[in-house]
Chain A
Amino acid sequence: MQNTTEVLSVSDITNLIKLTLEENFEQVSILGEISNFKNHVSGHWYFTLKDGGAQISCTMWKGLNNYVFFTPQDGMKIIVTGRITVYPPRGNYQFDVRSMKPAGEGELQAAFERLKRKLDEEGLFDEQYKKEIPSLPKKIGIATAIAGAALKDMISVAKRRFPMLELVIAPCQVQGEGAAKEIANSIKELNKHDDIDVIIVGRGGGSMEDLWSFNEEIVARAIFASKIPIISAVGHEIDFTISDFVADLRAPTPSAAMEIATPDINDYVAVINNFLDSATDSIEYIIDNSRQRVFNAIGSYGFKNSKNLIDIRKQYLDNIIYKMLNGMDKKISGTKQKISLLASSIENHNVNRTLRRGFALVKQDGKFVHNAKNYDYNKETSIKFYDNEILIEKK
């Protein structure tokens, strides 16, 4: 190497550089600020790490970046651990990142603030996009860890408050590598069920690092895109995440989220019992009222008097009928008499005139004998002439 006369090929020198660099920087940690971060479709990460005076190209392969709990952002200060590699065809060197962590808690906080500002400017937190949480849900979707305490708590709250429910659980990791993507997918998966009334997204308490998935952009976007209202319930009362801001409602804890999402069954029992009481009172009142009205009607002067009125009228009617009948009778009998008098005088008049002309009337048994055939020689016969009547003794 010290030999200045020795001529090396490009490949030779490059390989010497490669050997030197890779041997001497096999395991180093670098502190720097991320810029030009690219999450390639292949799953590999490409970015530049820089400080005030220098920069270095970095790559992090898919299998390794799975273990990073946060998504790197431009401007974030991180500490990367890995090695220097040289790529001879291009003659450049880069840093092959094996692990990555934020340079401090402040870095996560700063990343949080950056994403929050960005999404806020985009309008993802706007009040106009907040959907109403239904008051009487029939299906509640839950995106959380299947084995977590948060799920157990939520189930017990649902059982106690409103067991008429169906809970649909879309299990997902809620911390560590790939968790953010799983949470987002669970939300998308639940959105395929259009009979779900509300979704609770969350997990129990933990460190800022544990809760970090809920500060990831991919989760925020999935919550914003959800057609179903979402309640965000991450950690404890004091923990605020990006999810909380995007969600339609923030609950301090998963249990509290379930309390908010469910009506109390006892309220309904009270409503029904109240109905039974008030309806029974009402119907009794209505019946009493109707009864009173009937009594009032019966007791009224008009009703009491009506019998009397009828009686008076009946009597009056009877009277008229009596008078009428009486009058008629008299009239009829008078007329009858007149008629019979008249008739007999007419008859007498006619018969006498005939008899005067020499005719006679033959009577047997007090009846006129009209023809010879009816004449009985053995009977007593009277013959009436115009002036007198003679009797012929029977033989």
Chain B
Amino acid sequence: MKSKTTNSFEKNIEKLEKISNLLESEDIGLEEAIQYYEEGIELSQTCLKTLNEAELKVTELKKKLEETDSKIK
């Protein structure tokens, strides 16, 4: 689940950059521009929310090392 969140975060950031470029390009129509703008605002809110609410997760792998060792011998 966590990885999916980060994944979509990455995609959202990429999309923001794309929208930013589109809005700066000369030949975008008004309606299209407004649509992109609204989408961008929504995306940026989502991203900020993700960033603000992020909490480091720490997991520890179980130690199966000794068993693996003794099986080899």
Residues of A within 8 A of B (CB): 41-43, 136, 138-139, 146, 155, 158-159, 162-172, 181-182, 185-186, 189-190, 195, 265, 268-269, 271-272, 275-276, 278-280, 282-283, 286-287, 290
Contact check, B30 vs A287: say whether CB atoms are below 8 A apart: yes
Give 19 CB contacts A-B under 8 Å. A146-B60, A155-B58, A163-B56, A165-B6, A167-B56, A170-B61, A172-B65, A189-B61, A189-B65, A272-B16, A272-B44, A275-B40, A275-B44, A276-B44, A282-B20, A282-B33, A282-B37, A286-B28, A286-B30
Contact surface of B with A, Cβ cutoff 8 Å: 2-3, 5-7, 9-10, 13, 16-17, 19-20, 23-24, 28, 30, 33-34, 37, 40-41, 44, 47-48, 50-51, 54-61, 63-65, 68-69, 73
Q: Is the CB of A279 within 8 A of B37?
A: yes
Most B C-beta atoms less than 10 A away, residue of A163, A167, A170, A272: A272
CB pair A167–B58 under 8 Å, yes or no, is yes
Which 7 residue pairs are nearest across A and B when measured between Cβ atoms? A282-B23, A138-B6, A164-B54, A166-B57, A163-B54, A185-B65, A283-B37
Q: Which of B6, B16, B20, B28 contacts A164 (CB 8 A)?
A: B6
Q: Does B61 lie within 8 Å of A275, measured CB to CB? A: no
- Bound-state CA distance A158–B57 (Å) is 10
Q: Is the interface of A mostly helix, strand, loop or mixed?
A: helix
Chain B residues with Cβ below 8 Å from A43 are 73
Complex contacts, B50 vs chain A, CB 8 Å: 164
Q: Contact between B51 and A279 (Cβ–Cβ < 8 Å)? A: no
